[in-house]
Chain A
Amino acid sequence: MFAAVDNFPALLIWLPLFGGLFSFFLKNAQQSKTNAIIFSASSLIVVLVSLFFSGKEHFLLNQVSYQWLTSIGSNFGLILDGLTRTMALLTAIVFFLVFLLIPAEQYKDANRFFALMLLTQCGLYGVFMATDALVFYLFWELALIPVYFLASIWGGEKRIRATFKFFIYTFVGSLFMLLAILYMYNKTNGASFSLMSFFNLNNTASEQYWLFFAFFIAFAIKMPLFPLHTWQPEAYEQSPTPVTLVLSSVMVKMGLFGMLRWVLPLFPLAVKYFNTSIIIVASIGIVYASLVAIYQDNIKRLIAYSSIAHIGLMAIGILTFKQIAVEGVLLQMFNHGINIAALWIVAYMIEKQTGITAISQLGGLARRAPVLAIFMVIASLANVALPLTNAFIGEFMIFNGIYQFNWMVAAFAGLSIIFSAVYTLNMIKNVFYGEERTALHSFADIKGVQILVFVVLTALILLVGFYPAPFFKMFSDSVGLILTKYNS
């Protein structure tokens, strides 16, 4: 396997891994940044190329299967199907853009910073592509460790406590998932960890219930879902903003992805039994998070709570197990990644130049930085799911599914859209318009590479908003596979 780089998944794992390890040995900050850009660009190219080779006749190119631990029957299996390709595309784009944006001199020991970011990217690819439960668990934990170090070394004042809380919370959740994996492994005929053999297990209803919960807890902590979300605002606030960007844009999708790939197919009885109660709690959570977001002064916390609300909506969509909702969620995972990345980049630009994250201390930026203001408005409107933006398609489909499930939940959750408009437009008004503060007199508008990044993001927002069909073509097979046990 170590020589087999003739397929896409292996390349996607090896490129960031090698780039990250290599980065530890670089001396110069500028070298590290260039190194990071090269490796993330190459993985982006790999993902883009693989888009053209996604048909069934190319299946050899799109999967890895290697006898890893024969004594316990674990197979190092990776696959690039529609669902994982969407996620891999998101990861590749976000990391590439982030590396373009970070100035090389901003973080001391930059070589370690970029190395850890690349290692996180490797872990994320692995989580999305794994078809073997042990490999999934391995990469799930592996994605966590570099983030822990990134936030603890380069974060804000209260970072150590915040990240430790985040780490322990997530770790406990994933330990429960490990138990469920071990239990199911024990039940398989040929002692195997692969997704297919788990899928073929016929678990009894009561078994499914607790297995579902074990997995669900791990994913609910990751997303996070109310009321397991308490680690998130603090961790997001204390982490350095590029890390928060990666966390919020890609890492939370690990939770949603896990629900789609591992929970829905494997535990249909449990999903049908528990979904109503979880949906109710989650919708309360969405409205709660949106309300709290309205009152936030800290821009990072505001975006954090907004993220909780949006992810909650996607979780509800998954749990309705309606075809249209699940397709909407798949699209929305990509969209939310792009939109929230754009918002975080704006926050990053502001914080980098002024060091201010409190909205009350900002104002009138549009006069100084009109270009930034334009992009910010577009990103915010996308966040609110205005028609013609990408999020509109996703949210519309999700709401369609929720409405089919229960119109009252749809109405209640729909409140969150209104609230999101409130806090988003409020934020724009207070940050960019209104009276200018003295601290901002020297604010320079964005230029060069930064404009390029925003153009790419905006293009994605608008293009997907106009023409989402290619995406649907890409993951329609996966959706069918996920929902096979629900079509009765």
Chain B
Amino acid sequence: MMYTGFFVKSRNTINLIAIAGIVLLIICNVHEFISGMSLFSIDTKGMLFHSNFGLVFLLIILISTLMYFLLSGNDINAAGKSSSDLYALIFFILSGIGVVAGFKSLLMLFLGIEIVSIPLYVLAGSDKSNLKSNEAALKYFLMGSFSTGLMLMGITLIYGDTGSFYLDAIKAGLSVLTPMKAAGLLLVLASMAFKVSAAPFHFWTPDVYDGAPTVFTSFMATIVKSVAFYAFLHLFDNAFGNLHEDWKNLVAVIALLTLLIGNITAVFQQSVKRMLAYSSIAQAGFMMLAILSLNVFAKQGLLLYFAGYSIATLGIFAVLVKMKDHSVDAFNGLSKTNPIIALSVLVSLLSLAGIPLTAGFFAKYYMLLAVIREGHLMWLVVTAVLCAAVSIYYYFRVIQAMYFKEPTNILTLEFSSTFKWMMIINAILIIILGIHPDIILSLI
């Protein structure tokens, strides 16, 4: 990808090459899923293994990335001088995601997370002339490296206690909580919570999401968050599953804090970009409910959540990139100037708020079901439900601006027809998942 930058000057071609690459990956993925055979067989000594769950997850990620390229391809070009480098970085991230999707060893987890994170630091700072972007990149790099350090420390302690890096071995050896295991677990928990921007480790998220170029915020807020949560779930389910009762309450408190902080702060935001950053924290709170419960509803629901949340947020960010500024007033009267775009953003916002008929409703619903099934956590469920109600307020502010206010933009925004078609497909996908979520759920 990088080297094509030498040969190909035209930006459109680079876009097309990127899209072709993704399609190729999707085909390989589906092939492996259906036939159970992989294209290349590398002996990884059992450190990497892609189960059905992992393959479906990869499929969701790849399709989301495909939509991302189709929707925001032109904006990636505008973000930096050499777009082929930026695409290359995204493909590196994708390879990291591939590792994370199938890790069976803590080493692979660390490797995967790092491969995902480092290009992200670069992407966050890719707008070199903007001070906020530089600040975002530095903050992200510093805090990200620190949290990876914590994770390594945690991994070391666990290795010291159980004698192995492999998840199965750790699970087998983990039935009683010793101080070393507890310390290791806590450190790993803290670092994973950082990666998914759960409170109280979320402080980097608003600044980084706000400072990075909006195209890359879009990628970070959806796909990278999904990956981080997948890693979180996979790790805690397979390695620390036997100690579930011990860490369950801690994760419950984290989820509670995340929900409250994310939702309440989002209410006060004036900038849509920052509001979406806080809303991603709030959504992370809901996804934490899955980590908490670890039953079949949680896993199915989390995949559905990834799909619904990614598609919806990608759509909104794609429109946000094109706006002049990031305030809510920029959306005024969008329903009159661009009804199709407004409709698609409406569907996305309704999905994020959890209104029935959209994917977001079933996603939230599965999360709540998972926690109820777990039992004894009704206080968390009630809070989650109240936070969902609060979230309506800030999502509907944008809807109100679009539909009930007069347009203030003197210059009307021009959207290409491919963009409009992609937004329509976006909305249709959300509604299809909202009526028949079994499409994803039955694959697991």
Residues of A participating in the B interface, judged by any CB pair closer than 8 Å? 69-72, 137-138, 141-142, 145, 149, 152-153, 160, 164, 167-168, 171-172, 175-176, 178-179, 182-183, 185-186
User: Contacts A160-B400, A179-B381: A71 and B438 contacting too (C-beta < 8 A)?
Assistant: yes
Query: Which of B356, B393, B403, B437: most chain A Cβ within 10 A?
Result: B356
B-side contacts of A176, CB under 8 Å: 385
A-side contacts of B369, CB under 8 Å: 72, 182, 185-186
Which 4 pairs from chain A and chain B are nearest by CB? A138-B356, A141-B356, A175-B385, A172-B389
B-side contacts of A142, CB under 8 Å: 356-357
Closest to A183 in B: B372
User: Contacts A178-B368, A179-B368, A182-B369: A172 and B400 contacting too (C-beta < 8 A)?
Assistant: no
CB distance A152 to B404 under 8 Å? yes
CB distance B403 to A137 under 8 Å? no
CB distance B404 to A153 under 8 Å? yes
Interface residues of B, dominant DSSP: helix
CB distance A171 to B392 under 8 Å? yes
CB distance A138 to B382 under 8 Å? no
User: Contacts A152-B404, A160-B400: A70 and B355 contacting too (C-beta < 8 A)?
Assistant: no
Asked whether any CB of chain A lies closer than 8 Å to the CB of B412, the reply is no
Question: B372's contact among A71, A137, A171, A186, by CB below 8 Å, is which?
Answer: A186
Interface residues of A, dominant DSSP: helix
CB distance A179 to B356 under 8 Å? no
Closest to B381 in A: A179
CB distance B385 to A179 under 8 Å? yes
CB distance B389 to A71 under 8 Å? no
Residues of B386-402 at the interface with A, using a CB-CB cut-off of 8 Å, are 386, 388-389, 392-393, 396, 400
Asked whether any CB of chain A lies closer than 8 Å to the CB of B373, the reply is yes
* Complex CA–CA separation, A186 to B297 (angstroms): 11
Say how far A68's CB is from chain B's closest CB, in angstroms.
8
Say how far B52's CB is from chain A's closest CB, in angstroms.
15
Say how far A421's CB is from chain B's closest CB, in angstroms.
40
A-side contacts of B361, CB under 8 Å: 141
A-side contacts of B403, CB under 8 Å: 149, 152-153
User: Contacts A160-B400, A178-B385: A70 and B438 contacting too (C-beta < 8 A)?
Assistant: yes
A-side contacts of B300, CB under 8 Å: 71
Closest to A139 in B: B356
CB distance A182 to B437 under 8 Å? no
CB distance A137 to B385 under 8 Å? no
* Complex CA–CA separation, A199 to B444 (angstroms): 32
Asked whether any CB of chain A lies closer than 8 Å to the CB of B35, the reply is no
User: Contacts A149-B403, A153-B403, A179-B368: A71 and B442 contacting too (C-beta < 8 A)?
Assistant: yes
Chosen A-B contacts, 17 in total, with CB atoms closer than 8 Å, are: A69-B438, A70-B442, A71-B441, A71-B442, A72-B297, A72-B366, A138-B357, A141-B361, A160-B400, A164-B400, A171-B389, A171-B392, A175-B386, A175-B388, A179-B368, A182-B365, A185-B369
A-side contacts of B355, CB under 8 Å: 141, 145
CB distance B400 to A182 under 8 Å? no
A-side contacts of B392, CB under 8 Å: 167-168, 171
Closest to A185 in B: B369
Say how far B31's CB is from chain A's closest CB, in angstroms.
25
Closest to B393 in A: A168
Say how far A442's CB is from chain B's closest CB, in angstroms.
32
* Complex CA–CA separation, A70 to B439 (angstroms): 11
Say how far B368's CB is from chain A's closest CB, in angstroms.
6
Closest to B336 in A: A109
Query: Which of A71, A145, A149, A185: most chain B Cβ within 10 A?
Result: A71
Question: A179's contact among B350, B366, B373, B382, by CB below 8 Å, is which?
Answer: B382
CB distance A182 to B438 under 8 Å? no
Say how far A219's CB is from chain B's closest CB, in angstroms.
17
Q: Mark B365-384, 1 if CB is under 8 A from A, else 0.
A: 11011001100000001100
Say how far A144's CB is from chain B's closest CB, in angstroms.
9
* Complex CA–CA separation, A179 to B364 (angstroms): 12
Say how far B314's CB is from chain A's closest CB, in angstroms.
23
CB distance B368 to A160 under 8 Å? no
Closest to A67 in B: B438
B-side contacts of A160, CB under 8 Å: 400, 404
* Complex CA–CA separation, A164 to B404 (angstroms): 12
* Complex CA–CA separation, A152 to B400 (angstroms): 9
Say how far A25's CB is from chain B's closest CB, in angstroms.
12
Say how far A431's CB is from chain B's closest CB, in angstroms.
32
Closest to B371 in A: A182
A-side contacts of B382, CB under 8 Å: 179
Additional A-B contacts beyond A179-B372, A179-B382 (18; CB < 8 A): A69-B437, A69-B438, A71-B300, A72-B297, A72-B366, A72-B369, A137-B356, A141-B355, A142-B357, A152-B404, A168-B392, A171-B392, A175-B386, A175-B388, A178-B365, A179-B385, A182-B372, A182-B381
A-side contacts of B442, CB under 8 Å: 70-71
* Complex CA–CA separation, A167 to B350 (angstroms): 13
Closest to B373 in A: A186
Say how far B402's CB is from chain A's closest CB, in angstroms.
11
A-side contacts of B404, CB under 8 Å: 152-153, 160
Say how far A223's CB is from chain B's closest CB, in angstroms.
20
A-side contacts of B396, CB under 8 Å: 164, 167
B-side contacts of A137, CB under 8 Å: 356
Closest to B437 in A: A69
Residues of B35-90 at the interface with A, using a CB-CB cut-off of 8 Å, are none
* Complex CA–CA separation, A239 to B403 (angstroms): 16
* Complex CA–CA separation, A152 to B404 (angstroms): 7
* Complex CA–CA separation, A149 to B350 (angstroms): 13
A-side contacts of B357, CB under 8 Å: 138, 142
Say how far B290's CB is from chain A's closest CB, in angstroms.
15
Say how far A210's CB is from chain B's closest CB, in angstroms.
9
A-side contacts of B297, CB under 8 Å: 72
Say how far A203's CB is from chain B's closest CB, in angstroms.
15
* Complex CA–CA separation, A149 to B346 (angstroms): 12
* Complex CA–CA separation, A176 to B381 (angstroms): 10
Q: Mark B407-444, 1 if CB is under 8 A from A, else 0.
A: 00000000000000000000000000000111001100
Closest to B301 in A: A72
* Complex CA–CA separation, A185 to B361 (angstroms): 17
* Complex CA–CA separation, A287 to B393 (angstroms): 34
* Complex CA–CA separation, A137 to B354 (angstroms): 13
* Complex CA–CA separation, A70 to B438 (angstroms): 8
